[in-house]
Structure 1
Amino acid sequence: MPGLIERYEQVKETKEPLDWAELVTLDLSLFDQPGGKADLVKQLEHAVHHVGFFYVKNFNISQNEIDEQFALGREFYALPLEEKLKFHSAEDLARGEYNGYRPAGHRILGNGIKDNVQVYNIPKFDGHHERAHPAVLQEHIKEIEAFQRKCHDEVIVKLLTLFAILLELPDEDYFVRQHQYNVQGEDHLRYMHYAARSAEENKQVGELYSPGHTDLGSVTLLFRQPVAALQILNSEGQWKWVRALDGTITINTCDALTALTGGYIKSSIHRVHAPPKDQAGIDRLGVLYFARPNNHVVLDPVFEDSPVLKKLGYTSNAFTELGQHLTTQQWVKVRQSQQQRKLPGYEVDKDGKYTRTQKDLEILPGLSAKIYN
């Protein structure tokens, strides 16, 4: 019988006049209604091609189920560090394996300031990722699995269906077949904790918790939490804050989906900024779900099956231009290995611009990661 945990209460939203991004909200209750998919695709087209961020609402996951995941994240991060470290493996990180615990301070941001983020990743329950979890999570592992499966079935599957319709692929399940929950893959649920930093420390790293980047999978689900920090880079080159809207999940599209569509679906560029003044002393807890293609899927553009991609010329990607035909498993391994390297700090100039050497950023020969400033 799972132990009872105290209900999670979110903090109040900021009252600071931030420059908020204007994002479309998809109502997933339309998905099974006559003409609903077509209406959703019309709303989605600009969001995925130009922005890479949008919201969804009415997604059949209750607020109680979401609050339980936040409560489990809170309970995990309340454990003593020595207990959490039992679920950390530096060797796994070096190999590109990113499940379990990563402590804060794993990386130096710049000027001697280490990162302030702790991560706990729980892989999907596909039969290929058996691993131990701390008791507070193991006691609720069935609820965690149920939550993951709802993320997949109620949100991911519907979005992948809409993407297939948008690209006029042969059938609606084209992408769904490449993202099956019970087939081996690297999808995972994440509890993510950013510790509040002093104003002086924030200044030394350009007011950032994490510099601008893209995610490596297909779709990321960010469940509502009101400590303002997430920013996106819009098509005009401006950083805009992302508001936490009641009753929504914030969605961003990612690198693997960009590869499969030859760049048509945008991999969103985003960063984590230090929170505004009225939230500056508050730790930030996030619950996220990362969906990726199944491990065997080759990340070549699907233009031969998409009249839209073929007509518009989206026929290659960063991998195929190098003569590479990477599977998802290969891509995840090389990208996560690059992300998790133990490296010296970024160079951070007086304007908060981050730079690294090309060697530090190299993922594959001829392919390097980018830092977006």
Structure 2
Amino acid sequence: MPGKILDRYEQVPVTKADLDWAELITLDLSEYDQPGGKESLVKQLEHAVKHVGFFYVKNFNISQEEVDRQFALGREFYSLPLEEKLEYHNADDLIRGEYNGYRPAGHRILGNGIRDNVQVYNIPKFDGFHERQQPPVISKHIAEVEQFSRKCHTEVVEKLLRLFAILLELPDEDQLVKDHQYDVKGEDHLRYMHYAARSAEENKQVGELYSPGHTDLGTVTLLFRQPVAALQILNSEGEWKWVRPQDGTITINTCDALTALTGGLIKSSVHRVHAPPADQAHVDRLGVLYFARPNNHVVLDPLQNSALLGRLGLTQNVFTELGQHLTTEEWVKVRQSQQQRRNKDVKVSREGKYTYGPKDLDIIPGLKAQIYN
């Protein structure tokens, strides 16, 4: 049966506010298969991943029409009645660190009694290990969703992994690709993410933030261009800068698992979601993201055969210093369990500093999550 015809997705206008935008490099992936292209891209990439962990890519072989179709599917899902969406929510999954399916807004207290304003719908990668019932609006288009998910992986993630391998001077430029195979069990997922606009008074009570400063737990995150200004990054000078929505690009950030594998060489980017500027404050924010992670069996120790890490003496990470040798699956489950833990007494000062309860940030013994505000 053919899928329902989706109405075209129209993005809202970009902000006219004069914001303090971050200066980020843009990797042109059309250079990737050119002679010397990978080496040229690595030189451009090196500073970004060592210092801020954010950059753009363009010419990534996924059309704007394909991207817009995913935004349209996200729009259709979030337009469903809440009771229908809740059929795909399991609170016990979140306690266990499982984070596929639907998570409603208000699951956690953001601070000062104000609940979070974000809905999440995660679609696990199609590796044969994550069979799930999908709502009809998604299931009718599931072949298209799978194709998009796989293209995120092959056209963007795998190319970046080869660039990282060259940077790290690994003996095989496919080494990281082999640890991130799409059809091997892993916790990668496609996400439709919906932030509801909030009142000015509520925003004030939580330091004007939708989400406080944090890092992502995987290898890289792909954020497809959407125009509601909200994403901010913490640069190497300790300043929060807005991330500009650039036409025809994906915003990429590097994450915790990649930092662990590189002994801290590649920075896990610190970012937060700020309330939008005044001319967009009334607009709900819909995002399409892809989260890439190493395969579940991969041990997150620093890579022993990286000539670069060896020269720099980067042989330990935050896990190994605690005597831990976590697999990706173990790390994902304990980190997601912490992230989704229901907190009760988060306080936010007038300056926007977040103070958590004694157990809210515990991940494993000796390791706490960091909140950057």
Is residue 234–residue 241 contact of structure 2 (8 Å, CA) maintained in 1?
A: yes
- 1:196-242 C-alpha deviation (Å, 9 max, x unpaired): 00000000000000000000000000000000000000010000000
Aligned to 1:229: 230
Is residue 297–residue 329 contact of structure 2 (8 Å, CA) maintained in 1?
A: yes
AA at the equivalent of 2:189: H
Aligned to 1:217: 218
Aligned to 2:173: 172
Counterpart of 1:147 in 2: which secondary structure?
helix
Is residue 126–residue 146 contact of structure 2 (8 Å, CA) maintained in 1?
A: yes
Aligned to 2:23: 22
Counterpart of 1:332 in 2: which secondary structure?
helix
Counterpart of 2:359 in 1: which secondary structure?
helix
Counterpart of 2:360 in 1: which secondary structure?
helix
User: Are 1:203 and 2:204 an aligned pair?
Assistant: yes
Within 5 Å, give how 1:325-336 maps onto structure 2.
325-336=325-336
Identity of aligned residues (%): 77
| Offset of residue 175 of structure 1 | 0.4
Is residue 222–residue 290 contact of structure 2 (8 Å, CA) maintained in 1?
A: yes
Is residue 52–residue 236 contact of structure 2 (8 Å, CA) maintained in 1?
A: yes
Give unpaired runs (5+ residues) of structure 1. none
- C-alpha distance in structure 2 between counterparts of 1:27 and 1:47, whole Å: 14
Aligned to 2:53: 52
AA at the equivalent of 2:207: G
AA at the equivalent of 2:197: A
Counterpart of 1:151 in 2: which secondary structure?
helix
| Offset of residue 360 of structure 1 | 1.4
- C-alpha distance in structure 1 between counterparts of 2:99 and 2:230, whole Å: 23
Within 5 Å, give how 1:112-123 maps onto structure 2.
112-123=113-124
Is residue 100–residue 122 contact of structure 1 (8 Å, CA) maintained in 2?
A: yes
- 1:145-166 C-alpha deviation (Å, 9 max, x unpaired): 0000000000000000000000
- C-alpha distance in structure 1 between counterparts of 2:352 and 2:167, whole Å: 39
- C-alpha distance in structure 1 between counterparts of 2:101 and 2:89, whole Å: 6
- C-alpha distance in structure 2 between counterparts of 1:12 and 1:327, whole Å: 43
Is residue 344–residue 357 contact of structure 2 (8 Å, CA) maintained in 1?
A: no
- C-alpha distance in structure 2 between counterparts of 1:322 and 1:340, whole Å: 24
Counterpart of 2:41 in 1: which secondary structure?
helix
Counterpart of 1:101 in 2: which secondary structure?
strand
- C-alpha distance in structure 2 between counterparts of 1:218 and 1:294, whole Å: 10
Aligned to 1:314: 314
- C-alpha distance in structure 2 between counterparts of 1:107 and 1:251, whole Å: 26
Counterpart of 1:359 in 2: which secondary structure?
coil
Is residue 192–residue 289 contact of structure 2 (8 Å, CA) maintained in 1?
A: yes
- C-alpha distance in structure 1 between counterparts of 2:307 and 2:112, whole Å: 50
AA at the equivalent of 2:248: G
Is residue 118–residue 194 contact of structure 1 (8 Å, CA) maintained in 2?
A: yes
State the TM-score, normalized to the length of structure 2. 0.99
- C-alpha distance in structure 2 between counterparts of 1:345 and 1:133, whole Å: 35
Q: How many residues align?
A: 372
- C-alpha distance in structure 2 between counterparts of 1:36 and 1:163, whole Å: 14
- 1:71-109 C-alpha deviation (Å, 9 max, x unpaired): 000000000000000000000000000000000000011
AA at the equivalent of 2:129: H
Runs of 4+ in structure 1 deviating by more than 3 angstroms, as ranges, are none
| Offset of residue 312 of structure 1 | 1.1
Counterpart of 2:153 in 1: which secondary structure?
helix
- 1:5-61 C-alpha deviation (Å, 9 max, x unpaired): 101000000000000000000000000000100100000000101110000000000
Counterpart of 2:20 in 1: which secondary structure?
coil
Aligned to 2:190: 189
Within 5 Å, give how 1:72-111 maps onto structure 2.
72-111=73-112
State the TM-score, normalized to the length of structure 1. 0.99
Give unpaired runs (5+ residues) of structure 2. none
- C-alpha distance in structure 1 between counterparts of 2:346 and 2:229, whole Å: 24
Cα RMSD after superposing both structures: 0.6
- C-alpha distance in structure 2 between counterparts of 1:25 and 1:257, whole Å: 20
Aligned to 1:342: 342
Aligned to 1:294: 295
Is residue 228–residue 241 contact of structure 1 (8 Å, CA) maintained in 2?
A: yes
- C-alpha distance in structure 2 between counterparts of 1:367 and 1:332, whole Å: 14
| Offset of residue 358 of structure 1 | 4.0
Counterpart of 1:120 in 2: which secondary structure?
strand
Aligned to 1:2: 3
- C-alpha distance in structure 2 between counterparts of 1:108 and 1:366, whole Å: 24
Aligned to 2:265: 264
Is residue 345–residue 357 contact of structure 2 (8 Å, CA) maintained in 1?
A: no
| Offset of residue 346 of structure 1 | 1.6
- C-alpha distance in structure 2 between counterparts of 1:344 and 1:11, whole Å: 35
- C-alpha distance in structure 1 between counterparts of 2:301 and 2:56, whole Å: 28
- C-alpha distance in structure 2 between counterparts of 1:50 and 1:315, whole Å: 19
Aligned to 1:324: 324
Counterpart of 1:360 in 2: which secondary structure?
coil
- C-alpha distance in structure 1 between counterparts of 2:365 and 2:73, whole Å: 41
Counterpart of 1:267 in 2: which secondary structure?
coil
- 1:275-313 C-alpha deviation (Å, 9 max, x unpaired): 0000000000000000000000000000x2111111112
AA at the equivalent of 1:372: Y
Is residue 109–residue 345 contact of structure 1 (8 Å, CA) maintained in 2?
A: no
